[in-house]
Amino acid sequence: MNSTELFNLLNDFLASKGIYALVLILFFLGMFGMIVCKNYMKKLMSMNIMQVSIIFFFLCFAQKEGGMIPVLDGVTNDPGAYINPLPHALMLTAIVVSLGTTGVALALLMRLKDKYGTVEEDELLGRISE
């Protein structure tokens, strides 16, 4: 296998599946952050990164080559000519849910900060058990 073939292979992979690989990386980056970070604010931000990756995932598989935005343009009634709008609609709901979750989480963090003066996990555990 020479370098041109290899390049073509990589090119094909990136063109067809590359976006999914990126989404996967983003997902696990978020999860990694949630596990590793000791600061609750950072945990929360990692959580948002993870949620965004799922939204991307839905939007990616809704695409198709040569499809146009799902607005009836009067030229064609063929559903094959449009991309699938349903995942977008679902993700609108998912975005709202993630907004709600983030809001609740921020409110909880404010309470923690008020009460214990910190959002670092180690310090919190120490102060709560006192």
Partner 1 sequence: MRNLPVLIPILPLASAMLCLALSRINKNLGKYVVIGALTVSFASAIGLFVEVMRTGETIHYYMGGWKPPLGIEFVIDEMNAIILVAIAAVALFVCIYSQPFFSEKTRRLKRQKDNSNYADGTTWLEKGGFYALYALLSAGLLGMTITGDMFNLYVFLEIASISGYGLIALGGDKSVMASFRYLLLGTIAASFYLLAVAYMYSITGTLNMADMAMLLAAHKNSPNVFIAVSMLIIAFGIKMALFPLHGWQPDAYTYAHPAAAPLIAGLMSKAPALAMLRYMFYIIGVDSPYVAKALTVIGFLGACGIILGSVMANAQRDFRRMLAYSSVAQIGYIAVGLSLGNAYGIIAAVFHILIHAFMKSSLFMVIGAVRYRYDEVLISKLGGLNKHMPLTTVTLVIAALSMVGIPPTGGFFSKWYIIMGSLESGHYFYLVVLIVSSLLNAMYFFRVLETVFINKDAELEEVRPKGRFELPLQMLVPIVLFGIVIIAIGVLNAHIVADVLSLGLPEVLAI
CB of 16 to partner 1, least distance (A): 14
87 lines the binding site for partner 1 (CB under 8 A): yes
Query: How far apart, in whole angstroms, are the C-alpha atoms of residue 106 and residue 40?
Result: 10
In the shown chain, the binding pattern of residues 9 to 48 toward partner 1, with x for contact by CB under 8 A and - for none, equals ----------------------x--x-----x--xx--x-
Q: Which window, 8-16, 64-72, 73-81, 101-109, contacts partner 1 (CB under 8 A)?
A: 101-109
CB of 127 to partner 1, least distance (A): 10
126 lines the binding site for partner 1 (CB under 8 A): no
Containing 46, the helix (H) or strand (E) segment is helix 40-62
Q: What is the DSSP letter of 89?
A: H
From 29, 88, 94, 118, residue interacting with partner 1 (rule: CB under 8 A)? 94
Query: How far apart, in whole angstroms, are the C-alpha atoms of residue 94 and residue 88?
Result: 10
């598989």: which residue's tokens? 61
Query: How far apart, in whole angstroms, are the C-alpha atoms of residue 86 and residue 58?
Result: 10
58 lines the binding site for partner 1 (CB under 8 A): yes
Query: How far apart, in whole angstroms, are the C-alpha atoms of residue 130 and residue 127?
Result: 5
CB of 45 to partner 1, least distance (A): 12
**Assigned token pair, 13:** 């992979």
Nearer to partner 1, 75 or 125 (CB): 125
